[in-house]
Amino acid sequence: MATEIFLSKLSPTMEEGQLSKWLKKEGDKVSMGEPIAEVETDKAVMEMAALQAGTILKILVNEGESVPLGHTVGIMGDPDEDISDLLAKFSSGVSTTPKPQPTEAKSEEKPQEKLETVETPKTTNGASAPQAQTVQAETPASKADGRLLVTPIAARMAAEAGIDLHTVKGSGPNGRIIKRDLEAAIIEKASPQTPQPVTAKTETPAPKPVQLPTIEGASAFRDEHMSEMRKVIAKRLVTSIGPIPHFFLTAEIEMDRAMDARRTLNEIDPENKVSVNDLIVKVVANALVQHPQVNASFQEKAIRHYTDADIGVAVAIEDGLITPIIRGANKKGVGQIAREVKEMAGRAREKRLRPEEYTGATFSVSNLGMFGIDEFTAVINPPEAAILAVGAVTAKPVVRDNEIVVRQMMRVTMSSDHRVIDGATGAKFLQTLKKMLENPMTLIY
Contact partners, residue 156, CB within 8 Å, separation at least 6? none
Sign for the CA dihedral angle at 415, 417, 421, 424 comes to: positive
* Cβ atoms within 10 Å, residue 122: 12
- In this structure, what are the phi and psi dihedrals at residue 188, rounded to the nearest 5 degrees? -65, -40
| Annotated catalytic residue, options 225, 246, 291, 418 | 418
Residues whose CB is less than 8 angstroms from the CB of residue 99 and which lie 6 or more positions away in sequence, other chains included = none
Q: Give CA–CA dist 72/37, Å, rounded.
A: 13
| C-alpha–C-alpha distance, residues 157 and 279, integer Å | 46
User: Please, which residues have CB within 8 angstroms of residue 439's CB and are 6 or more apart in sequence?
Assistant: 257
Residue 44 class from Cβ within 10 Å (0-12 exposed, 13-18 middle, 19+ buried)?
buried
Are 151 and 172 contacting, i.e. CB atoms less than 8 angstroms apart? yes
Contacts of 369 (CB under 8 A, 6+ apart): 276, 277, 390, 391, 392, 393, 410
The C-alpha atoms of residue 63 and residue 18 are separated, in whole angstroms, by 8
Could you give the angle at which helices 256-268 and 423-438 cross, rounded to 10 degrees?
50
Give the separation between CA 15 and CA 134, rounded to whole angstroms. 25
Residue 237 DSSP SS3: helix
Q: Is position 418 annotated as part of the catalytic site?
A: yes
How far apart CA 415 and CA 5 sit, in angstroms, is 44
Mark out the alpha helices in 222-353 (DSSP H runs): 228-241, 256-268, 276-290, 334-349
Q: Which residues contact 402 (CB under 8 A, 6 or more apart)?
A: none
Backbone angles phi, psi at 332, to 5 degrees: -115, 155
d(CA 159, CA 123): 14
Q: Do 250 and 412 contact (CB within 8 A), yes or no?
A: yes
Euclidean distance between CA atoms 136 and 114, whole angstroms = 6
**Catalytic residue positions, numbered:** 418
